[in-house]
Amino acid sequence: MLELVAEVGPLRVYDKPAGLSLLADRSGADNLWNQLKQGTEKPYLVHRLDKGTSGTLLIATTQDAQRALTRAFADRRVDKFYLAWVSGEFPGGASLTLDLPMCRGRKSRYRLAGPRDAIIRKGHTYRLVADREGVDAQTRVRRLAYVDNRSLLLVKPLTGRTHQIRVHLSWLGYPLLGEHLYGKPADPAQQASRLMLHCHCLHVPGWGVFRTPAPATFVGSETS
């Protein structure tokens, strides 16, 4: 069920469950938009979360609020924080910045705008030393825990590209658990009951800071 966790004027904050698509898809399953339209307020889309991702989702109830909020996201004034479980031992210590341009890949996938062996680390930043035409994409990552060859990460996307977190981590060799598009989905080390990505917190200037706790379906959520 979709849970309303906060109301601030014409802003509604929901805790989106994993597995619920934002809009109708080919499966014909129920979607978040259908649930929202059954309420007494007309919903306006502000930003998106992938179907497999759980967590903090903002919806406006007026067009003016929608315009203001989407502009804040577009101008990169919204700080977004995700929790992610990945396969492998992600480097610990200070936060790392992944400055890795992206481009569209085959079918519904995205990829880095360059070969994997062109990724280098310089200080606290991973970069591509050679790239094709692609769009700017930066993600900041800090490891919170390492348990049984999987790492819990705090992730802050600095840009908002489609599948950005999923692509960046996979191409570095640390795919999300439960990932079905990137990495090696058939690898037992990557298996999980859901995509292990949770939008934990959004800081929206002028509106507030909104958080949703990681659900029980999020592996190891007791450590977050």
Q: Where in the chain is the domain with CATH 3.30.2350.10?
A: 3-78+200-216, 83-190
What are 60-83's pLDDT values in tens digits? 999 999 999 999 999 999 999 999
Q: Tell me which CATH code domain 83-190 carries.
A: 3.30.2350.10
Overall pTM surpassing 0.85 (yes/no) = yes
What are 92-119's pLDDT values in tens digits? 999 999 999 999 998 889 999 999 999 9
Residue-level pLDDT at 22: 86
CATH class for domain 3-78+200-216?
A: alpha beta
**50 among known catalytic residues:** yes
Average pLDDT over residues 31-45: 88
Residue-level pLDDT at 221: 52
Q: Could you tell me the sign of the dihedral formed by the alpha carbons of 183, 110, 179, 79, in that order?
A: positive
Is residue 215 scored above 80 in pLDDT? yes
23 pLDDT band, cuts 50/70/90, is confident
Task: From the candidates 25, 50, 117, 187, give the one annotated as an active-site residue.
Answer: 50
Residue 178 bridge partners (DSSP): none
Is residue 157 scored above 60 in pLDDT? yes
